[in-house]
Amino acid sequence: MAYYHSTQLKKPFNEAVTQVTENLKKQGFGIITSIDMKATLKEKLNVEFSDYKILGACNPQFAHRALGIEPQIGVMLPCNVVVRQKEDNLVEVLAVNPMETMDKSLSLELKEVAKEVSNRLRKAVDELSGEKPTTIEKEQSAVR
């Protein structure tokens, strides 16, 4: 499994950012940070870079639940979603897969939260290109 979910879109960059934001909202995520890497790299290094935004997506219910289980999990929040301009008028959208990036350090209870977050992020990304969303299977062991 990859450490991110991704898709490519053939549409203008700003339109893709808007659509990504809307899809994330449908899955219960809000954007709490937005980093414009193109502008930042131009300002700090005076280099040209393609359109590239890092959106910090947060689902408050899952964040609260995860922080209640393990307060240190905040180092992994928010969930990053990247929208980047590629060649040939393609825009790539990538969302972190918390099951891969945090898997080694998670308790069973926290894994259940990470699975649900990952499934929702995957659904938001997959629906951008009209793909049928896939889900990460739930583990057989019940969390008590």
pLDDT of res. 132 = 56
142 within some domain? no
Is the distance from CB of 95 to CB of 2 less than 8 angstroms? Answer: no
139 within some domain? no
Residue 100 has pLDDT above 90, yes or no: no
Structural domain count, the chain: 1
Residue 144 has pLDDT above 50, yes or no: no
The string of DSSP codes covering 81-105 is EEEEE-STT-EEEEEE-HHHHSGGG
143 within some domain? no
Range of the domain at 72: 4-129
**Contacts for 56 with CB less than 8 Å, ≥ 6 apart:** 31, 32, 33, 34, 35, 78, 79, 80, 81
pLDDT of res. 24 = 97
CATH code where residue 8 lies: 3.30.310.70
pTM of the model: 0.85
